Amino acid sequence: MDDSHLKNGILVGFISGVLWGWVSLLSNYITGIGPIEQGFFRELLQYSIGGAIFGMIIGCLFLLVGSRMPFKKILPNAVVLSVFFWLALRLGGQILSHENYARYVTDSAETIQGFVLAVVLGCILGAFWKTENNENG
């Protein structure tokens, strides 16, 4: 893996993540599952930054393991990777909750929304990856 591939993975992940952050904020606004607490523009900034970080992590992970993923096409592999990363974070939260039950409360609506949003991030990343790399996979 050379520097151009790494930069490409980070850039595609960043763009995908920011868009995903906006989708997440819109989803929270529509469903009310994660209410806007600090004003729309401040939340937009926070979701953009968080999404960018999450997207860059997934983009870099995709660079590392994308060729060893189970599917031949980019989009399903990106979705699988995004969902598995989300599941790892979710499991980590559950483990931490055993220390202090009030710290991490399991909410079914948040879990379902988080899963759907992980799929959405994978779709966005996969679509941009295909476009950026001019692949038809």
* Sign of the CA dihedral running 36, 41, 27, 8: negative
In this prediction, residue 134 carries a pLDDT of: 53
CB-based contacts of 101: which residues, under 8 Å, 6+ apart? none
Q: What is the pTM of this model?
A: 0.85
The token pair at 103 is 């710290």
- Average pLDDT over the chain reads 86
Q: What is the pLDDT of residues 75-85, one digit of tens each?
A: 999 999 999 99
81: nearest Cα among 91, 71, 92, 95: 71
12: confidence class by pLDDT, cuts 50, 70, 90: very high
107: confidence class by pLDDT, cuts 50, 70, 90: confident
Q: What is the pLDDT of residues 32-86, one digit of tens each?
A: 887 778 888 999 999 999 999 999 999 999 888 878 888 889 999 999 999 999 9
pLDDT at 137 over 60: no
Higher per-residue confidence, 95 vs 102: 95
Count of C-beta atoms within a 10 Å radius of residue 120: 18
